[in-house]
Amino acid sequence: MSIQVNDRAARLADPVDVAIQVNDRAARLADPVDVAIRLRPPEHAGIAERFDASDPTPGLDVARNPHVARLLHNRKFQFLMILPNQIVFWTVIFVGLLGTAVPGLNFGAAITWYVWFCLVFVMMVVAGRAWCAMCPFGGFAEWVQRRTFWQRTQKTLSLGRKFPEGLAQFGFVLPVVTFLLLTWIEEYFNIAGPGNPASTSFMVIGIVASALIFFLVFERRTFCRYICPLTSLIGTVGSMGMVAGFRTRDREVCLSCKTKDCMRGGDQGFGCPWYTWPASADSNLYCGLCTECYKSCPEENIGLFLQKPFTSVVAPRRRRADVAWAIALLWGLVLYQQINFTNAYNSLDSWLNGHLHIPHYPNPVGYLGLIAILTLVTAGVTRSIGALCARRDVAFKQAGNFAERGSRFRAYFVPIAYGLIPVVGADYFARQLPKFFKSSPRVVPAVQHMFGAAGVHSWLYNARLLSDPRIVTTQVAVIALGTVAALWATWRITTRELIPVSRSALAVRVTTSGLVIVCGAAAAVLYVAMQAAN
Ligand code: SF4
Ligand code: SF4
Ligand code: SF4
């Protein structure tokens, strides 16, 4: 649960807030943490309904292992996770600025664009937000904000502002907007081509500077939760992962806990930087695996739980409209990045550029317009499924607040969008494969080049891991796997959430499964058409 109780989206999404006295709006706005812990007498009714489905399996608590427990209690643990990436990250910046202008031979450009994203993606699929636990952007800014590398400090170097409620309600959609902006900049300046290695450095500097500003102005990891361009992608795709995150071992203990140190911070640990209450989390969306709650809970009531793959896609009962829109937008973006290789799109882009006096691809109107169309078409199909299948005797609410999902459209759109996560994730991964298979061996001569050895004539510089036809086959196979996983997830979600509100189980199954198959087929056909283009 979010402890930022002025975050209406989180409150609406989170029934544990029933236990929280949030009547005093002024007080809430002034100090949400204080109010969040001003509890009513513990409420025990409805616990099973709220927590049962996604409660982590106790046997999968790896923190029960004494060696793991010792490691997680160690305050240097996250510092040591971040440190190696921090070294690579500053190397990327300096080598990008000062090293060779040959992109494939420049370590900064080569490691970032040939290898990094693929590695991060594998981490997401396996372990959720594992990257966030070792991320140099957030890590660096947090060191500055806390004025320490690992100690538990009380005073921070930050204005500690709260993120405006009006913006916070858009949750995962905001960072998709920053991701769209970053992607457009990257395409416009051909940063990921890779083009001029200095551009990669400037992009990385831009991200870390933004993170630093947000950490210095706002409290905790506001940047990570609401702004970071990667957070929506990592959060949604990471929900396929097998790490459920840090959750409580016994929620009854939490309901009567007076201190809520996991949220406020205790002697041994900071309050959750991601505004998550481990007792109410029903997915791994917002657990940055930072271990602070584990350290701070005086009751030793926090564990690190594993889960079956896709659990955080299928199991959550408190689905969120902002997450669903984020998935639809991310789907629109990755499809755009395939369609932009077609001659038809290139003609359109040139035509728009001619009229709008934009020097070259990508035309911002074409870019945003096509992504918006693809997003709205996806949402529109779910609306049609609702119109076709919804029971007439179910009284759906009027569409209200952004975060509510009572309307007929949202009752179908939100769960169906969650079901699409595996195919969206597979598409992002497949999109990175040509660069990885064609050019990742270049990282070795790029490292050697930093020390004055190797060059473009190194055999590794010209080596590739797969031929073009095999890359296409691999991309199609990845999409096929993602589609099968999405079909399975959609089947489970439909059974639990859509059939009860639909007139015909067969109709809703056929239409939701059909949407998944069409999405997977569209991505696969486009990969065949692209012929392993970068
Ligand atoms: S949300 Fe972004 S900045 Fe924060 S830890 Fe994750 S990747 Fe890093
Ligand atoms: S996790 Fe620990 S500190 Fe947090 S509410 Fe539960 S018992 Fe209290
Ligand atoms: S590990 Fe605990 S403190 Fe850290 S983000 Fe996850 S829930 Fe919050």
Q: Nearest Cα to 447, choosing from 82, 81, 115?
A: 115
C-alpha 288 to ligand 1 mean position (Å): 8
The finding on whether 314 has its CB within 6 A of some atom of ligand 2 is no
What pLDDT does 377 receive? 97
Residue 117 has pLDDT above 80, yes or no: yes
Last residue of a domain, one of 236, 251, 283: 236
Instruction: Please identify which residue in the block is written with the tokens 């911070």.
Output: 265
Last residue of a domain, one of 178, 210, 236: 236
Residue 24 has pLDDT above 70, yes or no: no
* Sequence-separated contacts (24+) of 14-17 with Cβ below 8 Å: 14/280, 14/318, 15/46, 15/50, 15/280, 15/318, 16/50, 16/277, 16/279, 16/280
Lowest mean pLDDT among 12-16, 288-292, 459-463, 497-501: 12-16
Residue 199 has pLDDT above 60, yes or no: yes
Contact predicate 197/103, CB 8 Å: yes
Query: Does residue 491 fall inside a structural domain?
Result: yes
Together in a domain, 374 and 232:
no
Q: Residue 255 — very low, low, confident or very high, per pLDDT cuts 50/70/90?
A: confident
What pLDDT does 534 receive? 85
Together in a domain, 88 and 195:
yes
Residue 246: what are its φ and ψ, rounded to 5°?
Answer: -85, 120
- Residue 300: how many other CB atoms lie within 10 Å: 12
Both structure tokens of 95: 């080598």
Top-confidence range, 23-37, 70-84, 112-126 = 70-84
Query: Does residue 457 fall inside a structural domain?
Result: yes
Q: Residue 457 — very low, low, confident or very high, per pLDDT cuts 50/70/90?
A: confident
pLDDT tens for 306-329 read: 999 999 999 988 888 999 999 999
Give the whole-angstrom CA distance, residue 430 versus residue 434: 8
Together in a domain, 496 and 375:
yes
Last residue of a domain, one of 207, 236, 265: 236
Which residue range is the domain that position 131 belongs to?
A: 77-150+162-236
Alpha helices in 221-302 (DSSP H): 222, 231-238, 251-255, 261-264, 292-296
pLDDT tens for 355-414 read: 999 999 999 999 999 999 999 999 999 999 999 999 988 888 776 666 666 789 999 999
The helix/strand/coil state of 303 is strand
Together in a domain, 423 and 517:
yes
Residue range 26-52: mean pLDDT, rounded: 47
- b/e 343-366 (16+ beta carbons within 10 angstroms → b): eebeebbeebbeeeebeebbbeeb
Query: Does residue 515 fall inside a structural domain?
Result: yes
Give the whole-angstrom CA distance, residue 197 versus residue 449: 14
C-alpha 333 to ligand 3 mean position (Å): 29
What pLDDT does 18 receive? 34
C-alpha 137 to ligand 1 mean position (Å): 6
pLDDT tens for 493-510 read: 999 999 999 999 999 999
* Sequence-separated contacts (24+) of 395-402 with Cβ below 8 Å: 401/8, 401/12, 401/169, 402/9, 402/169, 402/170, 402/321, 402/322
Together in a domain, 138 and 232:
yes
What pLDDT does 31 receive? 43
Query: Does residue 216 fall inside a structural domain?
Result: yes
**Percentage of the chain lying above the pLDDT 70 cut:** 88
Query: Does residue 304 fall inside a structural domain?
Result: no
Element (H, E) at 302: strand 302-306
The ligand that comes nearest to the alpha carbon of residue 296 is: 2
The helix/strand/coil state of 248 is strand
Contact predicate 479/431, CB 8 Å: no
Structural domains of the chain, count: 2
Residue 30 has pLDDT above 70, yes or no: no
Together in a domain, 202 and 330:
no
Together in a domain, 82 and 231:
yes
Query: Does residue 461 fall inside a structural domain?
Result: yes
What pLDDT does 32 receive? 41
C-alpha 244 to ligand 1 mean position (Å): 18
Give the whole-angstrom CA distance, residue 475 versus residue 138: 31
Together in a domain, 108 and 203:
yes
Size of the chain, expressed as the number of residues it contains: 534
Residue 186 has pLDDT above 70, yes or no: yes
Which residue has the CA at smallest separation from atom 6 of ligand 1? 132
Q: Residue 74 — very low, low, confident or very high, per pLDDT cuts 50/70/90?
A: very high
The finding on whether 228 has its CB within 6 A of some atom of ligand 1 is yes
Query: Does residue 59 fall inside a structural domain?
Result: no
- b/e 452-480 (16+ beta carbons within 10 angstroms → b): eebeeebeebeebebeeeebbebbbebbb
The finding on whether 254 has its CB within 6 A of some atom of ligand 2 is yes
| Diameter over CA atoms, the chain | 74
Which residue has the CA at smallest separation from atom 2 of ligand 3? 293
| Residue 267, burial from CB neighbour count under 10 angstroms (0-12, 13-18, 19+) | exposed
Mean pLDDT for all residues in the chain: 88
Together in a domain, 223 and 344:
no
Query: Does residue 433 fall inside a structural domain?
Result: yes
Lowest mean pLDDT among 18-27, 53-62, 284-293: 18-27
Ligand 2 atom nearest the C-alpha of 257 is 8
What pLDDT does 281 receive? 86
Together in a domain, 489 and 353:
yes
Top-confidence range, 45-59, 92-106, 322-336 = 322-336
C-alpha 454 to ligand 2 mean position (Å): 55
Lowest mean pLDDT among 5-19, 101-115, 237-251, 520-534: 5-19
Pocket test for ligand 3, best of 68, 82, 254, 292 (most atoms within 8 A of CB): 292
Q: Nearest Cα to 170, choosing from 325, 291, 381?
A: 325
Together in a domain, 225 and 331:
no
Q: In angstroms, how far is the first alpha carbon of the chain from the final one?
A: 40
